[in-house]
Amino acid sequence: MELDRLFRDRRGAIVEEWVAALLRIYSEEGAKFFGSVPNRFANPAGYIFRTNTERIVSKLMDGADETECRQDLDGILRVRAVQGLSPSTALCFIPALKEILYREACQVVSPEQADALLHNWYIRIDRLLLLGFDIYMECREILWQQKANQLYDRTHKLLEKANLIQKEDSTG
């Protein structure tokens, strides 16, 4: 297919646009920082954003199933879950890939043909979005469970200090 070849030839530009879409939610300074330093130690979040989007695009272009992108998507969404973003904000970069591919396709075919030719891509991106939502909510559940456990432990220690409950006997 002509579009697949175009996408492979333009893979770098597609990744750059997708990373830019991913960074759009951040302040100008934040986006600049995340997008500029590709060092995993100096900028771990920026490194994850860039390398994982590259791997996702490569996997999708090589015909991989969306579920094979789970680990890479997980890395991006863990960062966003810790940042406390709403699900729609955290995931807004995924549908942006549709727009990017549509613009690329319109360079070689008419808009009507582009929509028809991109139908399978759109389905795969929608599935990627649903997978992303599941991953994001799993991450948020883990974070809330950790907060609940921490609150329970803190409350328990305060009650022990106030002699309102007895320390548990560890000898059994």
At 157 the pLDDT is 83
- Residue 169 domain flag: no
Domain count, the chain: 1
Average pLDDT value for the chain: 91
Region of poorest pLDDT, from 58-72, 80-94, 118-132, 141-155: 141-155
- Residue 153 domain flag: no
- Tell me: the pLDDT tens digits for 27-46? 999 898 898 867 888 899 99
At 160 the pLDDT is 82
Q: Are 145 and 137 in contact (CB under 8 A)?
A: no
Q: Are 107 and 6 in contact (CB under 8 A)?
A: yes
Q: Is residue 52 scored above 90 in pLDDT?
A: yes
- Residue 54 domain flag: yes
- Residue 39 domain flag: yes
- Residue 144 domain flag: no
| 102, HSE (Cβ side, Cα atoms, 13 Å) | 12
- Residue 145 domain flag: no
At 168 the pLDDT is 65
For residue 63, is it left (φ>0), alpha (ψ between -120 and 50) or beta? left
Q: In the chain, what is the straight-line distance between the N-terminal and C-terminal CA atoms, in Å?
A: 70
Show the domain range for 26.
2-139
Q: Is residue 102 scored above 90 in pLDDT?
A: yes
Region of poorest pLDDT, from 2-11, 36-45, 119-128, 163-172: 163-172
> Cα-flanking dihedrals φ and ψ of residue 12, to 5°?
-60, -45
Q: Are 148 and 34 in contact (CB under 8 A)?
A: no
At 2 the pLDDT is 78
Q: What is the CA radius of gyration of the chain?
A: 22
Q: Is residue 136 scored above 90 in pLDDT?
A: yes
At 89 the pLDDT is 97
pTM of the model: 0.84
Q: Are 46 and 31 in contact (CB under 8 A)?
A: no
Mean per-residue pLDDT, 83-101? 96
- Residue 88 domain flag: yes
- Residue 97 domain flag: yes
